Structure 1
Amino acid sequence: MSDLVAGPADVAAGLAVHGADAVDRSARAALVAHDVPARLAAQDPTLWGPGAEPAARTRLGWLDTHCRSWDLLPQLAELTAELGDLDHVVLAGDRATTLAAEVIAECLGRPLTVLDTADPGPVRAALADRPARTVLVLAGPDLDRTTDAHLRAYRQVWRDAGPEAARHVVVVTRPGSALETLADEWGAVVLPVDPEVAGHWAALTAFGLVPAALAGAPVTELLDEAAALAGALDRVRDNPGLALGAALGAAPGGGRATVALVPDGTGLDGLRHWAAALLATATGGRILPVAAESPDAPGATGPDVLTVSLGGALGPGAAPGPVADVAVNGPLGAQFLTWQYAAATAAAALRVDPFAAPAGVAGDDEPTPAGRSPSSVEGAIEVYAPAGAPADLAGALRWLTDGRGPEEHLAVTAWLDRRADAAVAGLRPVLARRTGWPVTFGWGPRRPAHTDGRARHLQITGAVTDDLPVPGRPYTFAELQAAQAADDRGALARRGRPVLRLHLTERATGVAQLLDTAGRTRT
């Protein structure tokens, strides 16, 4: 890895990128030769080729959405004051619309409960926590089945407890959506999102700012930090976004398509999860981002890995030590804009459409019964091995990791409770150490789908002992979650990807058994 202390850094608005030029010293020059800094700063939709141009014409608002978001601040201040007695903020929505707000709250130390799952455990826990003092933020481009279920569950609790539901709900959505129509029908507050920004690009729009502000985060500072950085984005030097984007765009050509994102110990640890999701989306799978637990975690380093550390502001004159190939360090608002600019720049270098939707993602169909029997049962784990694979647990795991193709990786998705079942995340480093492969980990349905075409999939589901009905619907939360997991398996199978499902009949015991077996299984 490069000596970051000795090398030059690109610095602007308190954010520094160290080590980028050492990845490929010609990468920045190639981008400059194509006038990428000036064209991107000017929101030129032709940067990614003719196929991407139609979407890019309406998707580049993230470059200056921080300016338009200032218009939200008076309304947010008024709303926060009006709801000051509601001290439990719950955010419900899908991964793309909740992750940035979750990162803001986590990095700035503000309490925020995120419901992006149909698992009954976290839903039941949220419903039981101060319902009369809860404000539910529903965020999304439209009303999906899971968000509908969350809203119905909360309205039932409020109906039983007495509070007026409309006062307890804030909706963040696009104008004209079914979610907006529903909110209008019963008088809930609706805040529109920037129509020129979508998905993980929307961190500094109402999607990220409204829940964070209600949770007490200083969102004005985030916008100020982004605005301070924006003036550097058309430069050739001291442009952190260009430096980082050049390094990321050059990495696959240098044999390092895996980009490990690691915390550097100076705060903002959760930012790596949002950055990983953004990179997977923007580069269409050409870059495989791995959110690693630490710089020395299995899979965080290696000759075919570009290691990038992230963190908050360093002290005056300080620089990160040689723990990564590239280091990105600075305030959170500037980080968001830097990573977005870098992702768009890397996409230009890789000649991919950064705004394309992934193919073959799970749908939103109504739950239907599933009837397949397990291929074997070992302890607290039911093994659902595909045809031609060994039926036993160790054999099925070996099958999944045998015969790795070029640039393939292992993707682990746990359709469980990410708090009560948090220990299952330990599978990522265990499998990375045992296989030597790049291994990603995600919580269903939070997994980015853009890298599916190069993945072999391990899906983990779990038994539910205390299910929860969805009021007014003919299914429960557990049935909804099981249907989502089945949809995901089906989508992957239709694309010809290897999928192994393991079902934990008792979650805590099954997680311990799986970690032990994975650690001992020869691969």
Structure 2
Amino acid sequence: MTASVPTGSNPLQALATVHQSPWLDFIRRAFVEDGSLAQLVQSGDIRGVTSNPAIFEKAMGEGTEYDPQMRDILAHETLSPGALYERLAVTDIQAAARVLAPVYEQTKGRDGFVSLEVSPYLARDEAGTAHEAARLWADVNAPNLMIKIPATPQSIPAIRQTIAAGINVNVTLIFSLAAYRDVVEAWLSGLEDLKARGGDLSRVASVASFFVSRIDGKIDAAIDRRINAGDKDARSLRDLRGKVAIANAKMAYAYWQEIMQTPRWKALEDAGAQTQRLLWASTGTKDKTYSDVLYVDTLIGPQTVNTLPPATLDAFRDHGTVSETLTKGVAEARAVMDSAERLGLDLNTVTTTLLNDGVSAFEDAFDALLGSVAAKQIALMGTKLTTLKTSLPSDLQSALDAGLEDWRKAGTIRRLWRKDAAVWTSQSEADWVNWLDVVDERLAHVEELEAFQAEVRARGFQQVLLMGMGGSSMGPEVLAMTFGKHEGFGHLYVLDSTDPQQVAAFERKIDPAHTLFIVASKSGTTLEPNIMLAYFHDLAKRALKDKAGAHFVAITDPGSKLEALAKEEGFWKIFAGDPKIGGRYSILSNFGLVPAAAAGVPVRLFLEDALRGVRLCDASVPPALNPGVQLGALMGVAATQLGRDKLSIIATPQIADFGAWLEQLVAESTGKHGKGIIPIDNETLGGPNRYGHDRLFVYLRLSTEHRHEQDEAIATLIAAGQPVVTINLHSKRQIAQEFFRWEVATAVAGAFLGIDPFDQPDVESTKVETRKLTEAYEKTGALPAQTPFAEFGPLAFFTDPDNAAAVKAESASAILKAHFDRVQPGDYVALLAFIERNRETAEWLQHTRLHVRNAKTIATSTGFGPRFLHSTGQAYKGGPNTGVFLQITADNARDLPVPGTSYTFGVVESAQARGDFDVLSERKRRALRVHIRGDLKQGLAALAAALHDAL
């Protein structure tokens, strides 16, 4: 029977006569601000509001209505897009809650609610859901808020916890009667828990959102397929079209009525509890052959809610029929359910699929929403962020798009931020990813670094000498080369060599009485920084006597041997490393920040710039917009799918040294188990005909530098179809953002390669061989003898028997020709020099590598030993067997003792070179060593001449 409708009211308002509440499934800022929501509330057309990610995505992804608040927030805070979205959403929810507050008060907390959903990413996470529900409840701080939680099996316990905490809950994505029973149990148990704790049950409201039209969408499609296939039950099946969803809902309501009669509920009701009302969701009609108000007209009953999208709301206001229909035709509804089962429509599978699809759809919508917010945030921040532009051939672009979509669907970036080792190889990776959090952690303690910086300045040090190796030296060297000397601070020198000539050169640059010495070693057991420390500490003690310790600072992991030594010798400061950050990922930790502070770099500003990079690489940023994932996925698919495993790094001069740090990060992280990305740093650009099809170019461009020749050369490469990534920095300090972007990118690339990007097994193998040789020296006073297989003037050639058989010839040029004739397309050549690193030797290597590249159309790499051992050396030995190596060693013009040992720096350097070569040989690499006897300059000239003839 149709209910009596008061004069002047419409069907929406008349629903009150049958005790059903119409809620609006829509929210948008302009809709609230222009009074439209208030008008609907005041007229009595609606009594509540629900939201979901799809609704917010449309609101935030269109127009400019959120721009003023976004600008204001971003002017004062550095947030991730996820946190920014939440700030915007909370503002909208709070505004809607204020509009609905009168309804909440008038109905004594029965109506007047606005719903906000926990992150869809937490749908299968019980603890995460419960935690976020409590956090959102506190952030919105409105009694008429409902927290939406999906009815997944994993979230059911979270629903109980949230109810027990006194928080209003809208349980969403309920499709089946079985799931609804679980929801009711969680609700009742939560109330009982709250009652046992003496809580106020009367203030806790809940609805159970039972989805309707989506069920008919699935069932009707199955029916139509079977009818079209000539099913023998076609007539019976046709009779069920458009009826199963409504019948399913009526069964749920019948169950609710039973619950309301149980002693268990009565006890809670007597204690002041409100009923959990069924809310009909997904009530917009999908099938155009049905009435547009079908799922409203047929589901009207006492103590229920129907949440309507705007179009359905307008339609019901216009021509809806108000009649208590839920309690009518229950027997017929049971018959429909029985027929559906008998005819094999498998409602259980349908509802399970719908739940999974619903969770996925909300995740997709949330991805789109956060992508919209991220895009807007990037646009509003402008030059505060570095920018990335790709110019890719179609095959690489397609592979990248597919890789990014795979990561999006799997939620892999969120797993990475959760430090899930299964992102890589499920081994020890989770123990090495605290670099994800270190910028926030160091900003929280930046006063410590600033106080140290002020003390350094006050003491008037004229030089700062950092002694380290690998990750402990590469990053600080970038800072020294990029930022130069700061007024009031000493020049930062970075020593990472055992070459005695180079050690002596650094000794000449400093005055121990006015030098701050920093020794950096995570483990405190690394050979090179230990012997450098021994040498310069001895030097300082001879100059400063018992005041030497006041000139020394150590950076090391807690409990290391270096920490013990620093305490024993009275070092001025000991800064702790994080044992869960590997050396090459440590630039934004104390290993980079302490030298930066000592050199006068404004550490707070530097970290704040880094934080912008952290936030845009956050777990909340979908892969296609996530700067770190974009770049890492590109590196990964280029290497694994298209053979573009040479990462060519080009940079404008003021930031050029960044490439050396990046070279170490990429090579040492990815080059292992026969896989890898080989970074090619500082190889002067050539024309397109100088390159094969194995390159991915990265152009790091400081926009304040006008390097037209580089820009033009890059444009030529793009025009020739080479893949190019251009990264624009708007100030030198933005290398802080790039440090973090590349750390994320390298970890992502490691996932695509299927390796652990945080270990370095082949660096350890060289250390083992070096240790054997130095121990032999300590026992006998000499390194084991070696005999060259060929000698020509100042050049003596060494290698293993297999390589010797392949290259043996009657002249130096013929040996070199035979060696380089082994280069194949897709290979690379590495020139590895265990000699003093200075301008002359660096220019010699650069000239020689370009000669090799141009002659062989091959990628080339150079490295000075021993520093490359802790960098590209990992990839040379553990990566793909595509390298052709020429190691260059030389007699030492002078040598230096290592205090406290029987050996010298020259002995250590020789042991390192030989140990490295031994591992290359053991790995069956195409390797040749040439040793220069006598004068180095003359020997290099002779080698250059032989190479010229060979090539």
TM score, norm. by length of structure 1: 0.90
2:432 aligned with 1:49? no
Q: For 1:251, which of 632, 638, 643 is the aligned residue?
A: 638
Tell me the CA shift for residue 300 of structure 1: 7.6
What secondary structure does 2:423 align onto?
coil
Q: Map residues 102-117 of structure 1 onto 2, 5 A cutoff.
A: 102-110=477-485, 111-117=491-497
Describe the shift of the 1:352–1:167 C-alpha distance in structure 2 as closer, same or farther (beyond 3 A).
same
Whether the 8 Å contact between 1:297 and 1:429 is mirrored in structure 2 is no
Task: Give the whole-Å Cα distance in 2 for the aligned partners of 1:56 and 1:375.
Answer: 44
Q: Distance in 2 between matches of 1:459 and 1:40?
A: 38
Write the distance in 2 (CA, Å) between the matches of 1:298 and 1:431: 16
Q: Which runs of 5+ in 2 are unaligned?
A: 1-374, 486-490, 719-723, 778-782
> Is structure 2 residue 770 aligned with structure 1 residue 361?
no
- Structure 2: which amino acid aligns with 1:230? V
- Aligned partner (choices 817, 820, 827) of residue 401 of structure 1: 820
Whole-Å separation in 2 of the counterparts to 1:72 and 1:478? 41
**2:748 partner SS:** helix
Aligned residue number for residue 193 of structure 1: 577
Three-state SS of the structure 2 residue aligned to 1:112 is: strand
How far the C-alpha of 1:166 sits from its partner, in A, is 0.5
User: Which of 753, 757, 767 is matched with 1:350 structurally?
Assistant: 753
Partners of 1:20 and 1:168 in 2: how far apart? 50
The Cα offsets for residues 309-349 of structure 1, whole Å up to 9 and x where unpaired, read as: 1133569xx99663561112221110001111111111222
Q: 2:626 aligns with which of 220, 225, 239?
A: 239
Residue of 130, 151, 155 corresponding to 2:533: 151
Quote the offset at 1:433 in angstroms.
1.7
Structure 1: state its 5+ residue gaps. 1-7
Counterpart in the other structure of 2:96: none
Aligned-partner SS, 1:514: helix
1:268 to 649, 655, 663: 655
Alpha-carbon distance between aligned partners in 2 of 1:409 and 1:296, rounded to the nearest angstrom = 16
1:121 partnered with 2:524: no
In structure 2, the partner of 1:224 is 608
1:295 aligns with 2:685: yes
1:489 corresponds, among 917, 927, 942, to 917
- Tell me the amino acid that sits aligned with residue 458 of structure 1: L
- 2:431 is paired with a residue whose SS is coil
| Structure with the largest fraction of helix | 2
Q: Secondary structure at the residue paired with 2:574?
A: strand
Match of 1:450 in 2: 874
Aligned to 1:130: 511
Contact 1:21–1:28 (Cα < 8 Å) also in 2:
no
Moved more, 243-252 or 421-430: 421-430
Change (3 A) 1:380 1:298: farther
Pair 484,435 (structure 1): closer, same or farther in 2 beyond 3 Å: same
Identity %: 27
Q: C-alpha offsets along residues 46-81 of structure 1, whole Å, 9 cap, x if unaligned?
A: 21132x3xx221111111211112245322233233
- Kindly indicate whether the alpha-carbon contact (under 8 Å) linking 2:670 and 2:750 is maintained by their aligned counterparts in 1: yes
1:4 alignment counterpart: none
Higher RCO, 1 vs 2 (CA within 8 Å, ≥6 residues apart): 1
Q: Provide the rounded CA distance (Å) in 1 between the counterparts of 2:819 and 2:946.
A: 14
Query: 1:101 corresponds to which letter in structure 2?
Result: P
> Which residue of 2 is the match for residue 475 of structure 1?
903
Deviation at 1:294, TM superposition (A): 3.2
**Distance between the aligned counterparts of 2:634 and 2:758, measured in 1?**
20
Which residue of structure 2 aligns with residue 415 of structure 1?
834
- The structure 2 residue matched to 1:92, chosen from 459, 462, 467, is 467
Tell me the distance in 1 between the aligned counterparts of 2:635 and 2:469.
Answer: 27
- Identify the match of residue 701 of structure 2 among 311, 329, 339: 311
Q: Out of 304-313 and 13-22, give the one that drifted further.
A: 13-22
Asked whether the 8 Å contact 1:92–1:139 carries over to 2, the reply is yes
Corresponding letter in the other structure for 2:949:
R
Aligned counterpart in structure 2 of residue 326 of structure 1, from 714, 720, 725:
725
| Compared CA separation, residues 511 and 220, structure 1 to 2 (3 A) | farther
Residue of structure 2 aligned with 1:78, choices 445, 451, 460: 451
Match of 2:888 among 448, 455, 460: 460
Give 1:149-188 correspondences, 5 Å limit: 149-163=531-545, 164-188=547-571
Q: CA distance change for structure 1 residues 44 and 240 in 2, over 3 Å: closer, same or farther? A: same
Aligned equivalents of 2:444, 2:465: Cα separation in 1 = 24
- Whether the 8 Å contact between 2:465 and 2:518 is mirrored in structure 1 is yes
Contact 2:669–2:756, Cα closer than 8 Å, also in 1: yes
Secondary structure of 2:625's aligned partner? coil
State the distance in 1 between where 2:670 and 2:540 align: 43
Query: 1:87: how far off?
Result: 2.0
Alignment of 1:364-443 (within 5 A): 364-365=770-771, 366=774, 368=777, 369-387=783-801, 388=805, 389-391=807-809, 392-404=811-823, 407-419=826-838, 421-426=841-846, 427-443=848-864
* Partner-residue secondary structure (3-state), 2:867: coil
Which protein is bigger by CA-based radius of gyration?
2
